[in-house]
Amino acid sequence: MCAASCFVIGGGHAGIEAAHAAAKLDCETLLLAVNLDTIGAMPCNPAIGGPGKSHLVKEIDALGGVMGIAADATYLQMRTLNMSRGPAVQSLRAQSDKREYSVFMKHFMESLPKLTLRQGMVKRLLTKNNKVAGVELAFGEQIEAAAVILSAGTFLEGTIWIGQETMPAGRAGEFPATGLSEMLRSLGFKLGRLKTGTPPRLDGRTIDYSQLPCVPGDEQLQFFSFLKNRPVLKQVPCYQTRTTEATHEVIRQNLHLSPMYSGLIHGAGPRYCPSIEDKIVRFADKDSHVLFLEPEGRSTYEIYLQGCSTSLPISVQQAIIKSMPGLENTVMIRPAYAVEYDYLPAIQFNHALMSKELPGFFAAGQMLGTSGYEEAAAQGIIAGINAALYFKEHEFLTLSRSSSYLATLIDDLVTKEINEPYRMMTSRSEYRLLLRQDNADRRLTPAGRAIGLVDDERWANFNEKYEAIDKERKRLSTTRINPGPDWQEELSSCGEELKQSVTLLELLRRPKVPYSLIKKLAPQSLEIPFLWGLELETEIKYAGYIERQKNQVKQVEKLDGVPLPKDISYQSLFNLSKEAREKLERIKPDTLGQASRIAGVSPADISVLLVSLEIRRRNSVNSRKFSSEDEQIMIIQGNCGAG
């Protein structure tokens, strides 16, 4: 029997980050993939980032992960979205070369000293003393492992659909993972069914770009990784098309052929990434929907039709495509399809992403109910870190919601009952202004350094950056300027004027004054990069709002600092609502803060829990219990005026 410290099942974005983290933390790690040639594959949109998602990628990078480095090395186009809005929602997005991304990832993983790659399929988990002990592969080989991370993506009993036709597959052209679902059920896990999809791919040589709006990349480049010297590559343009009334009519006339609408698919699809037929039905008042034509790579003419995910028959897909501007004579290379698959509701796992009932068993990615490469990778790095810490018998790394989108994602998954694919958006976090994409390194790099995932080079970069920013902040606060012709002319161009002597910091606080103007008229002795200056500008301009949000965090952290006893019986607390009793008993939150974020648990229920904890404290001090706990709750609530 072979052996490994950590065993990772799946070579997608979650599996990559999990295996990389475990190996970098000095664990002998084995990654098993159904096909080693598709490690880091992008079966859907070949893109990284976007609203909320770019924050995750930068947080992965700040912890010492891989995705940001790969995205920077293989981009076709870099573009910052929401530039007209506030810094909390501005998001970087890369159109990626899907082949180069996968090649980069495979080479990167092959270069890790503690990591072994294997091709194969897992048949079952091995257990010993109610803990994970390893895995058994499809042909009988057994491998011992102290920790197993399951990141099988859409492969668990995967089925793809095109119209009324179906076949078993994890994604087009690849075998599904069969038997694992039944094995997990035999271990006591509950599974559900979800659905996702992908659009058709088009022959770019047959598209008439002359009538389509061009979407170029940014002139001022930004990158996902906080490391220095990211590659500057020639950018490739994307284009826009749109649906027409003819498109909508084709879809309406053929809805009965969609497996979703005919009842053949039972899994819930992603609400925030709907199919084209869903858009037409749900937004019937809209005359048109914008779609994007995005290249799949430098060495291919395949074009991804973003926004046109569907499972309608091929003939209907062709009619849809030809009904849109610029695509009248376009040839479809690969049809769109839907994929339905099993998943593990994440409430069965804790914030370390380890099973609550089977120690040593971790999970990450789409099979925990998420949608998207970035969400999968974010879970993967946390699962990999904690699997390594579990093997070493160290305390888990669990982050608070106020620290990152990454922690928000995991907290939502394990405390809320997700019944549709979860997609990260900036609106998911109540701390958006604190959790900007530009300061992810300030928030998480120290944590990555503390556990050993951030190496000396990255740590030196981090310290250099914030020493420079702090030095520049000090210069701005101590340098005064007086009214003068140069300043008056430049300030008038942005609707401002200088009437008296002010510090540069006071001037930068003004909403319309950019940091670039101050750099121009009052250059510093230490030249700091453009993006570092933008981060400093945001912190100065929004200082009051940031401080207010920090105070909110302190209030919430008081609840997160109140642990809930493992032996508490929620069913016996009849002052809780019935829904709260059921959900608290099922989810078993670790803290009062986590309990407060469970859907169906009201502020009144939290009040009951607070009183219950106080009763426990009093009874532990006094040797006698003067009445039942439920009666005491009623007495104390009556005295305190709690409802």
In a domain, 388, yes or no: yes
What's the CATH code of the domain at 607? 1.10.150.570
Residue with the two structure tokens 């997005």 = 93
Q: Is residue 551 predicted with pLDDT exceeding 80? A: yes
The two structure tokens encoding residue 156: 């668990």
The length of the chain is: 643
Digit-coded pLDDT (tens) for 413-455 = 999 888 889 999 998 998 989 999 999 999 999 999 999 999 9
Of all residues in the chain, the percent with pLDDT exceeding 70 is 94
Query: Is 632's pLDDT higher than 60?
Result: no
Beta carbons within 8 Å of 454's beta carbon, 6+ residues apart: 63, 64, 445, 448, 462
**Mean pLDDT on 28-53:** 94
In this structure, is residue 556 part of a structural domain?
no
pLDDT at 635 over 50: no
In a shared domain, residues 98 and 215:
no
The answer to whether 267 and 248 have CB atoms below 8 angstroms apart is no
Complete DSSP assignment for 26-62: T--EEEEES-GGGTT--SS--EEE-TTHHHHHHHHHH
Both 96 and 176 in one domain: the answer is: yes
User: 10 Å Cβ neighbour count for 39?
Assistant: 25
Q: Distance between terminal CA atoms of the chain?
A: 60
Calculate mean pLDDT across residues 281-300. Answer: 94
Which residue in the block uniquely carries the two structure tokens 């069914």?
193
Mean pLDDT of all residues in 39-67: 96
Question: 378 with 483, same domain?
Answer: no
CA-CA distance, 387 to 120, in Å (whole number)?
A: 21
For residues 242, 248, 249, 252, the Cα torsion angle rounded to the nearest 10 degrees is 150
Q: Which residue has the tokens 């002139």?
A: 219
Residue that finishes a domain, picked among 450, 484, 506: 450
Q: List, for residues 574-591, the tens digit of each pLDDT value.
A: 888 988 898 898 888 889
* Domain count within the chain: 4
425 by Cβ neighbours in 10 Å (0-12 / 13-18 / 19+) ranks as middle
552 domain residue, yes or no = no
Find out whether 129 and 42 touch, Cβ atoms under 8 Å: no
Q: How far apart are CA 261 and CA 316, in angstroms?
A: 15
Write down which residue in 435, 450, 465 finishes a domain: 450
Pair type for strands 361-363 and 480-481 = unpaired
- The CA-atom distances, in angstroms, between 59 and each of 53, 546, 551 are 10, 19, 23
CATH number of the domain within which 492 lies:
1.10.10.1800
Lowest mean pLDDT among 261-270, 365-374, 382-391: 261-270
Asked whether residue 372 is assigned to any structural domain, the reply reads: yes
Residues 526 and 395 in one domain: no
Cα–Cα distance between 472 and 59 in angstroms, integer?
24
Q: What percent of the chain has pLDDT over 90?
A: 65
- DSSP 8-state secondary structure symbol assigned to residue 574: T
Domain co-membership, 358 together with 409:
yes
pLDDT of 638 above 50 = no
AA letter at 42: M
pLDDT in tens, 200-216: 999 999 999 999 999 99
| 233 in Cβ contact with 286 (< 8 Å) | no
* Averaged pLDDT, 1-27: 92
* CA pair distance 343, 413, nearest whole angstrom: 12
Q: What is the mean pLDDT of residues 620-630?
A: 56
Task: Residue 600: give the domain boundaries.
Answer: 561-640
CB–CB of 258/316 below 8 Å?
Answer: no
Residue 613 has pLDDT above 90, yes or no: no
35 and 50 housed in the same domain: yes
Please, which residues have CB within 8 angstroms of residue 551's CB and are 6 or more apart in sequence? none
Return all residues near 281 (Cβ < 8 A) that are at least 6 apart: 255
Are residue 232 and residue 113 in the same domain, yes or no? no
Instruction: Tell whether 601 and 616 lie within a shared domain.
Output: yes
Within a domain: 231: yes
The answer to whether position 569 is within a domain reads: yes
We report the CATH number of the domain holding residue 45 as 3.50.50.60
Q: What residue has token string 């709907």?
A: 274
Tokens matching residue 586: 């099922």
Q: Residue 273 belongs to a domain with what CATH number?
A: 2.40.30.260
| H/E run at residue 145 | strand 142-150
Say if residue 630's pLDDT is above 80. Answer: no
The residues, any chain, with a CB within 8 Å of residue 610's CB and separated by 6 or more, are 562, 592
580 lies in some domain: yes
pLDDT above 70 (res 122): yes
pLDDT (0 to 100) of residue 329? 97
Q: Is the pLDDT of residue 636 over 50?
A: no
The model's confidence at residue 172, banded by pLDDT at 50, 70 and 90, is: confident
Q: Is residue 322 domain-shared with residue 236, that is, in the same domain?
A: yes
Kindly tell me if the per-residue pLDDT of 67 is higher than 50: yes
Q: Stretch 263-285: mean pLDDT, rounded?
A: 80
Q: Which residue has the higher pLDDT, 552 or 17?
A: 17
Residue type at 368 in one-letter notation? L
Q: Does residue 443 sit in the same domain as residue 464?
A: no
| DSSP class per residue in 266-313 | -SBPPTTS--HHHHHHHTTT-S--EEEEEE--TT--EEEEET----S-
Burial of 301 (0-12, 13-18, 19+ CB in 10 A): middle
Choosing from 520, 545, 570, the residue where a domain stops is: 545
8-state DSSP, 571: G
Whether 438 and 569 map to the same domain: the answer is no
In a domain, 222, yes or no: yes
Of 56-60, 258-262, 439-443, give the lowest mean pLDDT range: 258-262
Do 144 and 134 form a contact (C-beta atoms < 8 A)? yes
DSSP state of 66: S
Say yes or no: 332 and 346 in one domain: no
Bridge partners of 414, per DSSP, are none
Q: Give the pLDDT of residue 2.
A: 66
